[in-house]
Chains A and B, each alone.
Chain A
Amino acid sequence: MRGGLAHAEATEAYQLPRLIRLAPNLYAACFTLMKLIPARFILRRAAADGKLPRGTVIAETTSGTFGLALAMQAVHLDRKLILVSDPVIDERLFRRLTDLGAIVERVPATAARAVGGYQAARLERLRQVLADYPVTFCPEQYSNPDNPRSYATVAEFLLENLGQVDCVVGTVGSGGSMCGTVTHLRAVLPECQAIGVDAHASVLFGHPDGPRELRGMGMSVMPANLDHRVFDAVHWCSAGIAFAATRQLHRRHALFMGPSSGAAYLVARWWSQRNPGALTVVLLPDEGYRYQDTVYDDGWLRAAGHLGAAVPDEPAGVSQPAQPGGPWTSLAWARRSFDEAVRPRPDPAVGVA
């Protein structure tokens, strides 16, 4: 929807990005809080469909920005919100969520598993919450098709303002933003390329699951909303170089964004320089305030071993997702399904042992 001079709701005013030209052929779509797009769409649609009668409890498992976006929209809808989170939720985010009226339930620290962390415990607690109340609604950002669908708004925004978009670069978590934005863009521009940026040790594009330092991108379980066939290329990026690129984005362009924005910027800058005739848009999902004590603190970076991390000029090309190649690798995904791209095919020349 188009914004006039005044907005009826804060989430409507905050949800659209600002477009900033970083290079003649590279635009950044800078979001205050990108997750407002799916949170607003999912909850408003549920309300319009009569799924949020008065007294409904909205419940979701998240420790991140989707929870904040839900909490903001729940204020507009005047509904109770319960968020099930890790024990280690950021204290300032916790205060902001509770000030918005959300109830934040932290699973106990003893519930951690070796693989998947607190995910299983959080899902179990969510099931209990949903069973405890008579009328509940769970937005399910990882599987609700309204999540990718909501990003038609971003495609509309980019097409209205730029007309042509040859490539979109963005980090991948639920799959909603990249799959939704690119699928809708391709209704008009079928050749538009999509480059997904993932973290090492994330299962999304075929790495074995493992501990990840980089938050806000990458996953330990495969979300149903991730349509792998959208992507032309996939890049994996280490925390160290993502942090360094985040600081570069701030110093060079005065853009104060979070670390997943840094990772996306790193890849978009490289791709747009190699493709000067193409117009690239990079999605920068949230701002830097949550990371002032980490990514923006040299002392923290030093202690974490990331201060002065050298950013490679280009990624190391790999032919299989988990093939070692250093902190920054890339794979030509070629719009294949996960099985086509990741499952090893029997090689007739070698034979099957």
Chain B
Amino acid sequence: MRDMRQYRLARSRASARPAGRGVGHACAHHGELLQGMFTDSAGRLRRALVTLPQPHSGSRATFHPSERHWGIVGTPELIKVRRAAVLALQAFSAHPSPAKGGQIDIVSDVPRGIGMGSSTADVIATIRAVADFHGVTMSREEEGRLAVLAECASDSVMIDDRVVLFAHRDGEVLETLGHRLPPMIVIGCDADPGVRVDTLSLKPAGYDDREIGAFQALRGALRHAIRHQDVALLGKVATASALINQRYLPKPLLDQLLDLCRSTGGSGVQVAHSGTVAGLIFDARQPGAAQAASACLARIGEWGLPVTATIGLPVAGAAQTQATA
């Protein structure tokens, strides 16, 4: 599913800059562990989420500076990448030798439209490529701010050094929940194959008071789960969030996946709240977890669902690292 995308952009036909390029990379994710509305430090309710990173796929962007003007036409994701590049160029306009324009090439193996953060991965890789060209490493928070400016709402894959509750429409970390997720295995699939979710036209969920109260409890549980590296509790939080989401972007196979998870000793099921993927969560430290996860993988195959993630699952011959955010 690797595709090549080549986006070109130009801001002006201004001065020449020495040849060179910048590269940037960003990971995909596999939907959320929790998404809802939460109070910030000022007591205001904010939409926010906790992302489940999918370290095995991502986007790689290469920035080639150029002064030639290229017309930009095309699809919404092209617009997001162009916008991100322009914003990043603006951020470096005070640099001693800033680039005026250029071209972005993107290589990505992130499936599109199923909630795995393909456009954020493109956008963050783009921002990082432009920053790399200028010899600068931006802070993760600044990357997040630019990403939201570029695409209105962004997940938190750029914050890759800790677990955060991220206000995805404001590009702001509401709370750092801990250093890393506990060691877990996630078997992911596209739970509604063929359906593509257009995140730009997705209406924000109209959570009611009961759900907002539940989010408050879930936030407390998630703090405990991450502080104590408790996969069982993390799975309960993810499941509760997935069930609430059934009112907004339902996964027709969620009950079936929950049954499969329970029957194989899994901890819970997480979903993409703006996509179609779902993942079964296992505690990697439990004896037999890999076998149980493999059994689920086989069942998902029998059901004919495309596999979208095998995070933390040791695969013979392939050196896949464990997902610990």
Contact of B224 among A1, A161, A183 (CB under 8 A): A161
Contact pick for A160, options B209, B213, B221, CB 8 Å: B221
B209 touches A1 (CB 8 A): no
Nearest 5 A-B pairs (CB), nearest first?
A156-B220, A187-B214, A160-B220, A152-B213, A159-B220
Q: Which positions 232-266 of chain B face chain A at CB distance < 8 Å?
A: 233, 236-237, 240
CB-based contact B216/A153 at 8 Å: yes
Give CA–CA (A98, B167) in the complex, Å: 44
Q: Which residues of chain B from 169 to 220 have any CB-CB distance to chain A below 8 Å in the complex? A: 209-210, 212-214, 216-220
Tell me the nearest residue of chain A to B211, going by C-beta: A187
Instruction: Give the total of A residues in contact with B, Cβ under 8 Å.
Output: 23
Q: Interface of B with A (CB < 8 Å)?
A: 39, 41, 43, 209-210, 212-214, 216-221, 223-225, 228, 230, 233, 236-237, 240
> Do the beta carbons of A185 and B230 come within 8 Å of each other?
no
Q: Is the beta-carbon distance between B224 and A152 smaller than 8 angstroms?
A: no
- A145-B209, A187-B240 are contacts. A155–B216 as well, Cβ < 8 Å? yes
Listed by A's residue number, 29 A-B pairs whose Cβ atoms lie within 8 Å are A1-B39, A145-B209, A149-B209, A149-B210, A149-B213, A152-B212, A152-B214, A152-B217, A153-B216, A158-B220, A160-B220, A160-B221, A160-B224, A161-B224, A162-B224, A163-B221, A163-B225, A163-B230, A164-B233, A183-B213, A184-B213, A184-B216, A185-B217, A187-B217, A188-B218, A188-B233, A188-B236, A188-B240, A189-B236
Interchain CA distance A44-B230 in the complex, whole Å: 34
Would you call B233 and A163 a contact (CB within 8 A)?
yes
**For A137, what are the chain B residues with a Cβ–Cβ distance below 8 Å?**
none
- Closest chain-B Cβ to A295's Cβ sits at a distance in Å of 33
Asked if A338 is at the interface of the complex by the 8 Å CB criterion, the answer is no
Q: Which of A145, A152, A162, A189 contacts B216 (CB 8 A)?
A: A152
Known contacts A149-B209, A163-B225, A184-B213, A155 near B236 by CB under 8 Å? no
Q: Does A118 contact B (CB under 8 A)?
A: no
Q: 1/0 per residue A132-174: CB within 8 Å of B?
A: 0000000000000100010011011111111110000000000
| Docked pose: A188 CA to B214 CA in angstroms | 8
Of the candidates B43, B220, B225, the one having the most CB atoms from chain A within 10 angstroms of its own CB is B220
**Among residues 313 to 343 in chain A, which have CB atoms less than 8 Å away from a CB atom of chain B?**
none
- How far, in angstroms, from A162 to B216 measured CA to CA in the complex? 15
Task: Give, as a whole number of angstroms, the nearest-CB distance from A29 to chain B.
Answer: 13
Q: Note all chain A residues with C-beta closer than 8 A to B228.
A: 163
CA of A164 to CA of B216, assembled, Å: 16
Given contacts A158-B220, A163-B224, A164-B233, 19 further A-B contacts (CB under 8 A): A44-B43, A145-B209, A153-B216, A155-B217, A156-B220, A159-B217, A159-B220, A159-B221, A160-B220, A160-B221, A161-B224, A162-B224, A163-B228, A163-B230, A184-B213, A187-B218, A187-B240, A188-B233, A188-B237
| CB of B233, distance to nearest CB on chain A (Å) | 5
Report the Cα distance A180→B210, complex, angstroms: 10
Closest residue of chain A to B209 (Cβ to Cβ) is A149
A162 to B233, CA, bound (A): 11
- The residues of B that contact A156 with a CB separation of less than 8 Å are 216-217, 219-220
Q: Which residues of B contact A149 (CB under 8 A)?
A: 209-210, 213
Q: Report how far A147 CA is from B221 CA in the complex, Å.
A: 22
Residues of A contacting B209 with CB < 8 Å?
Answer: 145, 149
Residues of B within 8 A of A153 (CB): 216
A19 to chain B, nearest CB (A): 13
A158-210 contacts to B, CB under 8 A, are 158-164, 180, 183-185, 187-189
Give the residue name and chain of the B residue nearest to A44 (CB): B43
B250 to chain A, nearest CB (A): 18
Find chain A residues with CB under 8 A from B212 CB. 152
Chain B residues whose C-beta falls within 8 Å of the C-beta of A189 in the assembled complex: 236
Q: Which residues of B contact A157 (CB under 8 A)?
A: 220
Pick from A1, A145, A158: contact of B43, CB below 8 A: A1
- Give the residue name and chain of the B residue nearest to A188 (CB): B221
Among B39, B43, B221, the most chain A Cβ lie within 10 Å of the Cβ of: B221
- Decide if A160 touches B236 in the complex (CB within 8 Å): no
Looking at B224, B225, B240, which has the most chain A CB atoms within 10 Å of its CB? B224
Cα distance, A37 to B35, chains bound together (Å): 25
Output the nearest chain B residue to A158 by Cβ-Cβ distance: B220
List residues 22-80 of chain A with CB under 8 A from any CB of chain B. 44
Shortest B164–chain A CB gap in Å is 15
**Bound Cα distance A153, B219 (Å):** 10
A159 to B222, CA, bound (A): 8
Bound-state CA distance A327–B230 (Å) is 43
A235 → B minimal CB distance (Å): 25
Chain B residue at smallest Cβ distance from A164? B233
A145 to B41, CA, bound (A): 24
